[in-house]
Amino acid sequence: MTTFTLSLCDMILGGCLFLFLAAVYSARPKFPADCSPPTRRLHDTSIHKTQIIKCSISHHRLFPKKHAFVYPYLSVGIPVRVPKSNWLLSVNTAPWWKRGWLHVSPKDHLYRGRDGETLSDNVDAYLKLQGLNPADFPHVYLVTSPRFLNHVFNPASFWYLYSADGELKYVMAEVNNTFDERRMYLFPAPESPGPFKQTLSKDFHVSPFSSRKGSYILSTANPADDENISVTITLCSSKGHPKLVARCSSEAPAIDPSSLSLPRSIWLLVSWGSTVLTTFAKIVHQAILLAQVRKLNIWYRPEPGESAVARRPTAAESFLATVFTRHLNHLVSMSNRYTFLTHSTGVGEETSYPQSHSLLDLHPVGEAGPVALGLRIHTPQFHRQLMTYERLSDFLSYTLLHPYEENRTAWSDDAQSLVDAIRGLEMAMRRRRRWRPREVPLDVIWAAYRHLRCAQPLKGTYPGPGLPSRREEAKHRDGPRASPARGGRCFLDDFVRDDCGLSLQAHYMVATLGLQWRTRVMRVVGGE
């Protein structure tokens, strides 16, 4: 009875929130267009308290076209080692009925696939991968945006790492793009005393109006000393020219969620909850203005490098990964030249490649020493592309040996030897392929499937049309876009048809066709 009553109250409160969102958002005061930094004020921010912080985000683009905007942004400050939770703001893993209206989940931060029960678990795992001892940082302070109505989009979160004596040692910027990809930049504190200001090279695709080249300059106030939030990130071009200045700053005194009355809590959710829900839409709106009004050059999305966290796989991509795993097992069993060493994912292990899945480790029979040929799959796009190739060796040759890293979906320490080994295994499998009796109804279904499936190899977009300078060249070279080839063969099709059961065959056809249609639709909005 209690659970039902709480749920009914939640629904009534949620309805009230939505009734007020539009009116409150339209009545919000406007910020100056010049994006000048706010007047310095103390906002009672404490790195030892769980607090709600009203902030503003400003962007000031300097070249090639000037453009500026600013919008309100609801943030929270979390003492990661000792957070506190209540019905308004909750932190760390909790069942849905114990979460607050605002919630900070470990699953939304740092490496995926190694999610701990707490933010502290996640940051400790990250620090170990960076060669740091988590015990050296007993105080960790996180500034981020919470979930509201189970929705969140964090363009950037900032982790402040302190020593036992309260000295700020590192600031970690956790950057997310609109493609569900993530990159953590760890800035060490300057050796000389004074303001925190450090520079790191840029290698992650955030904006379609900039390449992956350049650098970031991070300038931030120390929340432990200044009692406010003030972070400035300057994006510099590859030639060192400031290109964009982004600021996040607190705009009002920090709020202790445990001290708010019920009416004030409701008003806070009504007046500021919309900022969480509309962050993504605001970014897309500004991108449209820059592309259509300012006419800025556009860089297509490259595949993330190994330093970044790839997007989450779809259910169909996860299923194709299991099919590919079975195919690899079958392929190795066709020859006595290699032994299968490992067949696991490296996500849950303390490895140098926390986001790469080590699906294949081959050891040549008779070879002395721990020599192995490994394949590290880094992005789900790997499985979306492999289902369009006739031979696995051809696909691996493309994705591992392509001169542009922007197209790579997997990595290997000895790519050429791995491709040669797979090619040899494919030849052995063709020699040992068994004859299968014909099954007319099933053959008809597979023929219809192959007619619907696109067999044109799916490739990356670099150098053309990914690079603005090569886009026109690629357009003239390729001419009008050809219709996708249909009816071609794919090595996974042959394996599933000949060596898998009917249920898996049906699942495979649905997953493959669904992924290909999803790819076509998502290309309209820039891919995924």
At 42 the pLDDT is 67
Within 13 Å, how many C-alpha atoms sit on residue 237's CB side? 9
At 338 the pLDDT is 67
Answer whether residue 138 shows pLDDT above 90. Answer: yes
At 51 the pLDDT is 94
Q: For the residues 104-128, what does the mean pLDDT come to?
A: 85
At 222 the pLDDT is 92
At 87 the pLDDT is 92
* 30-39, 209-218, 372-381, 478-487, range with greatest mean pLDDT: 209-218
Q: For the residues 359-368, what does the mean pLDDT come to?
A: 64
Q: What is the DSSP letter of 109?
A: S
Q: For the residues 221-248, what does the mean pLDDT come to?
A: 90
Q: Cα 464 to chain center, whole Å?
A: 24
| pLDDT tens per residue, range 98-114 | 899 999 999 999 887 66
Residue 18's pLDDT band, with cuts at 50, 70 and 90, is very low
| pLDDT tens per residue, range 177-187 | 988 899 999 99
Q: For the residues 243-268, what does the mean pLDDT come to?
A: 92
At 172 the pLDDT is 96
- Name 401's Cβ contacts closer than 8 Å, sequence gap at least 6: 415, 416, 419
Residue 8's pLDDT band, with cuts at 50, 70 and 90, is very low
Domain boundaries, the chain: 23-28+43-292, 315-523
Nearest CA among 29, 56, 54 for reference residue 44: 54
End-to-end CA distance of the chain: 44
Q: For the residues 336-359, what does the mean pLDDT come to?
A: 53
Q: Which amino acid is present at 249? A: S
Token couple for 474: 């690629």
Token couple for 389: 């190739």
Across 45-49, 82-86, 102-106, 225-229, least confident range: 225-229
Average pLDDT, the chain: 80
How far apart, in whole angstroms, are the C-alpha atoms of residue 196 and residue 152?
28
How far apart, in whole angstroms, are the C-alpha atoms of residue 184 and residue 161?
14
Answer whether residue 11 shows pLDDT above 60. Answer: no
* 135-144, 477-486, 489-498, range with greatest mean pLDDT: 135-144
Strand partners, 174: 157, 184
Q: Cα 162 to chain center, whole Å?
A: 27
More confident residue, 304 or 429: 304
At 120 the pLDDT is 93
Across 77-91, 104-118, 119-133, 244-258, least confident range: 104-118
Answer whether residue 9 shows pLDDT above 90. Answer: no
Cis peptide leading into residue 32 (ω within 30°): no
Across 36-45, 265-274, 341-350, 408-417, least confident range: 341-350
